Amino acid sequence: MIATDTYDSAVRSIYAAATEPDRWPAALQRIADCMGDVGTVLLWRRDDGSIGTIVSPALEETHADYIANWAMRDTRAHRVIERGYQVSTDAVTDGHVVDDDEVRTLPIYTDYLVPHGLGWFAATSVAPDPHVWVVISVQRRFDRPRFDDAELHLVSQLGRHVEQSLRLSIRLLEGETRGAGLTKILTSMNIGLFGLDSLGRVTMTNPVGDALLGKGLIVRDEKLIAENRSDRAAFDALLASILRDAVPPVPKPLIVGDTEGGRVVLHVLPLGTPNMLAGAMLADTRALVLAVEIDRDQPVDPTILRDLLGLTLNEARVASLVGVGLQPRAVADHLGIAEETARTVLKRVFGKVGVSRQAELVALLARLSLRG
């Protein structure tokens, strides 16, 4: 059993890194601590092919060896994308990508992992942005039992909090590489941003956020509220929960609409205690609302489909592309998987959402007001 205080500490550490990316190594260590493991690796890759990694302090030396000598020879990593689509869960582990004989004979185990005291991994992928793919991988000692289903579920849950925090943090990480300050990064972000104090009053907005007012959100008596009454109760309840420091077990987006049929996706990040290190701009801010207007001419963000339809992220990635008219072969090419795998995943999606054809899936997305 995982101690509640250990899990809560990990979640708080994850959100502390949202506005202070230097805290990510400590947050990754807290994730590993939940299961008594060595450490955690966070890898992100953008559509343009650029990549980045952050690791727990305990894995720095080991990871340096991996990058220098093993990244191109890691059989597990080469298989994990394809085989990740073949399983119906969001987390994968060694048993999904190698068999027992390979564990005993593959150099990645015999010559790299075991000499470093490592053995097993539990990984989950998340998508803080439609153009960014992220995986977190918890590393376990070889002399411990392999990850079981309950632990894989826990990794998936923690991954969702990582995803939520990274919606902001990954933009700050990219801004830091360009030498931009926090204020400049927040004001130039291409998504709407609203800061709220402990009473729910707006403390700051960026230009995109200002432009979204009247498109599903309004400010009344200094407070951010949903424009439509039908959306208001759910939004108010979510904000009240976050501002009471009651982080949901699995964060989910909220969709609000305007009177003309537009839709805006909202993600609420808790900041907790005063964030003085992040600068005066956020000193009184206890929560950040990230707002993204849905573009009906683009594929639906897979995370929205995942959360609305009860899909895995990989299933949602396939559904999103099929929903804009791509055939399974094109979907497979786009995702870097086999066509047969794409077809198998699509059948799982059909079964979960209760349709049998691509046209019915497109119609379902239209009924959800996610497609035109």
The pLDDT, as a whole number, for residue 74 is 95
Q: Is 49 helix (H, G, I), strand (E, B) or coil?
A: coil
Residue 138's pLDDT band, with cuts at 50, 70 and 90, is: very high
Residue type, 213: L
Domains and CATH numbers, the chain: 4-177 (3.30.450.80), 182-293 (3.30.450.20), 302-367 (1.10.10.10)
Residue 106's pLDDT band, with cuts at 50, 70 and 90, is: very high
Q: Taking residues 282-292, what's their average pLDDT?
A: 86
pLDDT one-digit tens code per residue, 185-195: 777 788 999 99
Outline where 39-148 has alpha helix (H). 60-65, 75-86, 94-97, 100-105, 107
The pTM for the full model equals: 0.91
Closest CA to 346 of 298, 302, 304, 314: 314
**Two structure tokens written together for 112:** 């790299």
Q: Show the beta-strand stretches assigned E in the chain.
A: 39-46, 51-55, 91-93, 120-129, 132-140, 192-196, 202-205, 217-220, 223-226, 254-257, 263-270, 287-293
How many other β-carbons are positioned within 10 Å of the β-carbon of residue 293?
17
Q: Taking residues 148-166, what's their average pLDDT?
A: 95
Q: Is 37 helix (H, G, I), strand (E, B) or coil?
A: coil
% of the chain exceeding 70 in pLDDT: 93
